[in-house]
Structure 1
């Protein structure tokens, strides 16, 4: 048995949908807005961001090297992309959706599903807050340009 948490967060970004998608999914730029910053990554299967691709992402979290695998479930960019992240017994399915508010403004929505093993203590507010912080950090990063 497992337990899950689901939520959705939306932010408005003052950049074009094309620029948002190009920068959000550029692994080399993650270190500028993601915490902990990405150390490195390795494409394990397929072509980057194509359906079926698997990329291993490496991080240094509080002095411990960790990794997670990213699976591309579906890619309809610049409209949407669905990614599954796995780390041990934790699964995180994220559907990123984008829509034009106008030529220079994009609405970005994340639909998030976390799945945990039964004995894992889940603080839903912690996960929501972390997603909000990550989205805000990207928004601040891209709007600086």
Structure 2
């Protein structure tokens, strides 16, 4: 059995991607790996750490929130799935999780212009560097069957 990997962050775009990936994993008779990525807070002063912002607490919080999100979206989907939550830069973590996957699925937030030119996007980075085919799902396309 192969694996379909989908990146999620709880946004509307990632919900569409997750629904699409669940459908696709069933069509392929593949396991669905749902991957959430978090980044630690960045502070303006070198060496400054906010009280209570320890790594284990932040990891547990991310796992709790993403698990609840995944369970809600996946309820009744019939897909075979698991959840992985990791710290890091989203494109790098998703590419690593997809190293043996048949397909990597991500949502598109539709950022354009200067913001995308300066910052790039996770979907753009993955389209160029992922170790497997990438499906980029645009928001509001899942229900209509478009895109």
Higher strand share: 1
- TM-score w.r.t. the length of structure 2 is 0.28
Look at both structures and tell me which one has the larger radius of gyration over its CA atoms: 2
Greater helix content: 2
Tell me the TM-score normalised to structure 1 length: 0.29
Q: Which structure is richer in relative contact order (CA contacts within 8 A, separation 6 or more)?
A: 2
